[in-house]
Structure 1
């Protein structure tokens, strides 16, 4: 069984995302899902990230099957949720003033995939991702947070600490190493913190 890796970023999160996707090995057993606060504006995020990896990167499409060795980016003005092996997009209410938002992705992934889920909160303002990361941990998944001192906008990492005690607070370089390791192995059970 492959890992479901979910990443959330906002202000200051682009460079961390680029470093993380650049570290992902080929082949990659995991499926990777990214939410960045882009609102309803046109987004070239998949093109930007594609320059850092050989994995295919694209905006997610509604009701498409989840496949390993792919990076899915939430499209503008759509929440991205996972269930029944498929991606679901919707224009539900904004969460933390954002659509797309991380919490809908994190919570749906935790409920559908439990211990296979890895949640990562990167640089950004406000508190998006904090509740979702708590739910991921509650369902036995792995919760990682970019160290607030390193984040150019530490609001999201600090909110994640306020909501629950994440499994690890790491600089981006170590998060990238952790994600790369999960992509390279059978992740039917997410490694324990510190493993």
Structure 2
């Protein structure tokens, strides 16, 4: 996950919301770790704060990360697929909030969280990126996602950052 974060420029024109499955009571250093290698601001959001471009929001352990319009919600709703935070819950909320302006990404991981949420992203007009399972440390999540959605892009982790920059950069020739 560090590799694509390193390649995102400071003026990245979108927000990034990240869900990583961690034990509910474990301390997480992920925001500090990513902040140390990223040109973006990285943090655990506060419930109700307004979403900003160029900021990477990390779901706190045992809390869902959702969007309601332009507000970030940090909640303790029911577990989905045995997890909280739930990638599916995040993807559903961003798909409903921003439809065709969403890019859903599933990377390495176990089980199938994220697959149903990617389906919603795609149904509501967003783009779907899945890490190439052959490139993933744990291929189960990306492989399962590919059984649920027709990904717009299937890429190795090393190509994710440049692809996100390309997809979010307006075409100035128009």
TM-score range, shorter chain: over 0.9
Q: Distance in 2 between matches of 1:95 and 1:37?
A: 12
Offset of residue 63 of structure 1: 0.4
Query: Per-residue deviation at 1:130?
Result: 0.3
Equivalent residue for 1:94? Answer: 79
- Do structure 1's residue 51 and structure 2's residue 30 form an aligned pair? no
Aligned residue in 1 for 2:153: 168
Q: Give the alignment's TM-score, normalised by structure 2.
A: 0.93
Kept in 2, the 8 Å contact 1:121–1:144? The answer is: yes
Assess if the C-alpha contact under 8 Å between 1:39 and 1:98 holds in 2. no
Confirm whether residue 37 of structure 1 aligns to residue 21 of structure 2.
Answer: yes
**Is the 8 Å Cα contact of residues 30 and 182 (structure 1) preserved in structure 2?**
no
Count of matched residue positions in the alignment of Structure 1 and Structure 2:
170
Native 8 Å contact 1:58 1:71 kept in 2:
yes
CA drift of 1:124 comes to: 0.1
Long gaps (5+) in structure 1 = 1-16, 188-195
Counterparts of 1:66 and 1:186, CA distance in 2: 20
TM-score normalised by structure 1 residue count: 0.84
Contact 2:104–2:118 under 8 Å retained in 1: yes
How far apart, CA to CA, are the structure 2 residues paired with 1:104 and 1:84? 15
Aligned-pair distance for 1:89? 1.4
Pick one of 113, 116, 134 that aligns with 2:98.
113
Deviation at 1:106, TM superposition (A): 0.5
Shift of 1:179: 1.2
Partners of 1:180 and 1:98 lie apart in 2 by 30
1:68 is matched with 53
Q: Gaps (5+ residues) in structure 2?
A: none
For residue 181 of structure 1, report the CA deviation from its aligned partner: 2.2
Partner of 1:18: 2
Q: Is the 8 A contact 1:133 1:143 kept in 2?
A: yes
Q: 2:4·2:159 contact (CA, 8 Å) conserved in 1?
A: no
SS of 1:169's partner is strand
